[in-house]
Amino acid sequence: MPEGRSNLFDRIPDVSPLVKGERSALDPSFTPERLPHREKDAEQLALILSPSLSNYRPSNVVIFGKPGVGKTSVVKFVESEVNKTIDSRPNSKVKIVDVNCGVVDNSYGVLVSIGNSILENGEERLPFTGWPIDKLYNTVEEKINNFGGIVIVVLDEIDKLVKKSGDSVLYQLLRINEITSSGKVSILGISNDLRFTDYLDPRVKSRLIEETMVFYPYNATQIYDILKDRALYSGIADVIDDTAIKTCAALAAQDQGDARRAIDLLRISVEIAERSGMKKIDEDTIYDAKLKLERDVVIETVSTLPLHSKLTLFSIVLLDEIKKGGKSTMGEFYDLYEKISNRVGVDNLTQRRVADIVSELTNLGLIESQVQSFGRYGRTTTVNLNYSSSKIKEILLRDEVIEKLKDVKPLQKPLPFS
Ligand SMILES: Nc1ncnc2c1ncn2[C@@H]1O[C@H](COP(=O)(O)OP(=O)(O)OP(=O)(O)O)[C@@H](O)[C@H]1O
Ligand SMILES: [Mg+2]
């Protein structure tokens, strides 16, 4: 840096912090001491797990619920209560093993996590790769038997494990109780996909789902209470309007009753207010935060799409520019998709695969698609964008392959390349 030049950050004014308490309370990973409106669920789960404290195997249980409804938080809370209780009851032999199947989504990883959590003093850790799965399974089974107590295996996001690697590890774990004489295993699965059990073998399904719990989405009043607590922990209670908290809660309640989204909105509005030197957070700040959050989600969603999804979306964007927001038919954008794929030098997919991509883009909320009937001329799928084409185009052009298409100009008919 040349002498005398000020540091980049010297020129950025200090933010005046509105947060007087724990800033981490505005972070979704924060574990609060209380979970308003989930007390009964926590009690029910504690009841299901309670036999373990007397060294009996609790029923296997699966908790279902949409994202952000407190499933992981409740399970973590109950886990810590179990751990506190066993500390004061020397005769209880319980081990809880947490596996995040969003990260560990294969049988090997699950078995290693279990084996390594019940190592005896001085025993070597199991290797993260390399062993034949049968050897690993037999070793883990032996370790559970030697442990001689109850191993509660928490499989958070169990649907990801099953979709990625099938149900064989569940089958093996559930069978351990029939083989071992002392150690027993219980499974606590958590899923936000109600249909994941369709992927299970009937024998696994009936053994795994001995108990189920469903966490329903929060309503606006419940989210309001959760946010009030977070505002108190973080020390922003006196700089935020009550109507702002109510708006934040109402927006998140409309959006699937997701507490995580409500907390994200609150945190982003605090950041917006601090950066612009505001002294108070009002309803308008919450709406600004909502816009920012949506923008961020669109950027993340579009930029992480696979190449052919980007190419499909790019052809829909080009047609949107030509039609000034009008709908495009499958025939029209498939034609264009084929041409732009060739232009960037990749083999195009079949129309059937592109139709699957259209369903995926629809599920992600980026486009809307409808099947339209033309009477005796048959049916076709029509699509239109849910966001401005210039915004989507700008994000797509950040991809190094799509970037080659930056000079393709929308034309009135004839279409580009024709
Ligand atoms: N009842 C509650 N009280 C306080 N905070 C809550 C409550 N429910 C959820 N939260 C907060 O909302 C966020 C999301 O909760 P959590 O991670 O438990 O959801 P989840 O149901 O496991 O979602 P996902 O299916 O996406 O994993 C966390 O920051 C959590 O602290
Ligand atoms: Mg979770």
Query: Does the beta carbon of 362 lie inside 6 Å of ligand 1?
Result: no
Range scoring the smallest mean pLDDT among 41-55, 174-188, 364-378: 364-378
In the reported structure, the alpha carbon of residue 34 is separated from the centroid of ligand 2 by a whole-number distance in angstroms of: 17
Domain around 274: 218-301
Residue 2 has pLDDT above 60, yes or no: no
% of the chain at pLDDT higher than 70: 95
Q: Is 144 helix (H, G, I), strand (E, B) or coil?
A: helix
**Confidence at residue 376, expressed as pLDDT on a 0 to 100 scale:** 73
DSSP bridge partners of 187: 153
Q: Identify whether residues 194 and 322 lie together within a single domain.
A: no
Among 64, 69, 188, residue to substitute to test ligand 1 (most atoms within 8 Å of Cβ): 69
Q: Report the separation in Å between the CA atom of 61 and the middle of ligand 2, taken as the mean of its atom positions.
A: 15
Contacts of 284-290 spanning 24+ positions with Cβ under 8 A: 285/244, 286/244, 286/247, 286/248, 286/251, 287/247, 289/265, 290/251, 290/265
Residue type, 185: V
CA of 260, nearest ligand number: 1
User: Residue 290 has which token pair?
Assistant: 């909502």
Say how many Å lie between the CA of residue 70 and the centre of ligand 2: 7
- Supply the pLDDT for residue 410: 62
252-275 confidence digits (pLDDT tens): 999 889 999 999 999 999 999 999
Average pLDDT over residues 26-52: 95
Average pLDDT, integer, range 41-57: 96
Distance from the CA of 167 to the center of ligand 2, in angstroms?
20
Classify strands 367-373 and 379-385 as parallel, antiparallel or unpaired.
Answer: antiparallel
* Same domain, residue pair 268 and 321: no
- Position 135: which residue type? K
DSSP string, 246-288: HHHHHHHHHTTT-HHHHHHHHHHHHHHHHHTT-S-B-HHHHHH
Element (H, E) at 187: strand 184-191
Are 186 and 59 contacting, i.e. CB atoms less than 8 angstroms apart? yes
- Classified as helix, coil or strand, 11 is helix
Counting Cβ atoms within 10 Å, is residue 122 exposed (0-12), middle (13-18) or buried (19+)? exposed
Q: Is the CB of 226 under 6 A from ligand 1?
A: yes
Distance in angstroms (rounded) separating the CA atoms of residues 361 and 367: 6
Decide if pLDDT at 373 tops 70: yes
Q: Is the pLDDT of residue 213 over 50?
A: yes
Q: Is the CB of 35 under 6 A from ligand 1?
A: yes
Nearest CA to ligand 1 atom 13: 260
Domain shared by 386 and 374, yes or no? yes
Distance 50 CA to ligand 2 centre (A): 22
Gyration radius of the chain's alpha carbons: 27
Nearest CA to ligand 1 atom 9: 70
* Nearest ligand 1 atom, CA 65: 21
Neighbours of ion ligand 2 (CB under 5 A): 72
Q: 372 falls in which pLDDT band (50, 70, 90)? A: confident
- Stretch 183-195: mean pLDDT, rounded? 93
Task: Tell me if 62 sits within 8 A of 212, measured CB to CB.
Answer: yes
| CATH number for the domain harbouring residue 208 | 3.40.50.300
Task: Say if residue 12's pLDDT is above 50.
Answer: yes
- 312 with 337: CB under 8 angstroms? yes
C-alpha of residue 148 to centroid of ligand 2, in Å: 30
In DSSP terms, 94 is beta-bridged to: 150
Q: How far is the CA of 405 from the centre of ligand 1 (A)?
A: 42
Q: At residue 415, does pLDDT exceed 60?
A: no
Both 185 and 249 in one domain: the answer is no
pLDDT one-digit tens code per residue, 115-155: 999 998 888 999 999 999 999 999 999 999 999 999 999 99
Please indicate, yes or no, whether residues 317 and 283 belong to a single structural domain of this protein: no
C-alpha 193 – ligand 2 centre gap (Å)? 12
With a 6 Å cutoff on the Cβ, whether 246 touches ligand 1 is no
Q: If you write DSSP's letter for every residue of 149-184 in order, what string do you get?
A: SEEEEEEETHHHHHHHH-SHHHHHHHHHHHH-SS-E
What is the greatest pairwise CA distance in the chain?
A: 80
Is the Cβ atom of 191 under 6 angstroms away from ligand 1? no
| Structural domain ending residue among the three candidates 215, 239, 263 | 215
Hey, what are 267's tokens?
């945190």
Q: Looking at the CA of 69, which ligand is closest?
A: 1
Helix (H) or strand (E) holding 186: strand 184-191
CA 253 to mean position of chain CA atoms: 18
Q: Is the pLDDT of residue 45 over 80?
A: yes
Instruction: Tell me whether residue 384 is in a domain.
Output: yes
Ligand 1 pocket mutation pick from 26, 63, 260, 267 by most atoms within 8 angstroms of CB: 260
Read off the pLDDT of each residue in 30-45 and give the average, rounded to a whole number: 95
Q: Is the pLDDT of residue 181 over 60?
A: yes
Q: How many helices (H) and strands (E) in the chain?
A: 15, 8
Lowest mean pLDDT among 249-258, 307-316, 373-382, 384-393: 373-382
CA dihedral 24, 216, 76, 179 (to 10 degrees): -160
Count CB neighbours of 329 within 10 A.
15
Please report whether residue 28 resides in a domain: no
Nearest-CA residue for atom 27 of ligand 1: 67
Q: Same structural domain for residues 292 and 380? A: no
* Residue 275 in domain: yes
Asked if residue 386 belongs to a domain, the reply is yes
**Stretch 158-181: mean pLDDT, rounded?**
92
Q: Is residue 410 domain-resident?
A: no
Instruction: Please indicate, yes or no, whether residues 77 and 132 belong to a single structural domain of this protein.
Output: yes
Judged by its nearest atom, the ligand closest to the C-alpha of residue 64 is 1
Query: Which positions ≥6 away from 149 have C-beta within 8 Å?
Result: 55, 92, 93, 94, 95, 183, 184
Reference 76, options 117, 118, 29; nearest CA is 29
- Separation CA 77–CA 92 (nearest Å): 19
Residues 210 and 222 in one domain: no
Residue 282, in any domain of the structure: yes
Q: Which atom of ligand 1 is the closest one to the Cα of 192?
A: 25
Q: What is the pLDDT of residue 418?
A: 43
Answer yes or no: is 207 within a domain: yes
3-state secondary structure 195-232: HHHHHCCHHHHHHHCCEEEEECCCCHHHHHHHHHHHHH
Do residues 120 and 209 both lie within one domain? yes
pLDDT of the residue at 395: 95
Q: 42 in ligand 1 pocket by Cβ < 6 Å?
A: no
What is the tens place of the pLDDT at every residue in 307-343? 999 999 999 999 998 888 778 888 888 999 999 999 9
Same domain, 121 and 262: no
Average pLDDT over residues 17-28: 89
Give me ligand 1 centre to Cα 43, in Å. Answer: 17
Question: Is 400 in the same domain as 292?
Answer: no
Is residue 413 over pLDDT 60? no
Give the distance (Å) from ligand 2 centre to CA of residue 260: 10
pLDDT band at 17 (very low <50, low <70, confident <90, very high): confident
Residue with tokens 């390399």: 130
Nearest-angstrom CA–CA distance, 119 and 88: 22
Domain identity same for 87 and 177: yes
The domain spanning residue 341 has which CATH number? 1.10.10.10
Q: Residue 236 belongs to a domain with what CATH number?
A: 1.10.8.60
Q: Is the pLDDT score of 277 beyond 80?
A: yes
Question: Does 415 reside within a domain?
Answer: no
Range of lowest pLDDT (140-144, 178-182, 279-283): 178-182
Chosen domain end from 253, 269, 301: 301
Cβ atoms of residues 88 and 55 within 8 Å: no
Domain count across the chain:
3
68 lines ligand 1 (CB under 6 A): yes
Which of the listed residues 161, 189, 215 is the one where a domain comes to its end? 215
Q: Residue of the nearest CA to atom 17 in ligand 1?
A: 72
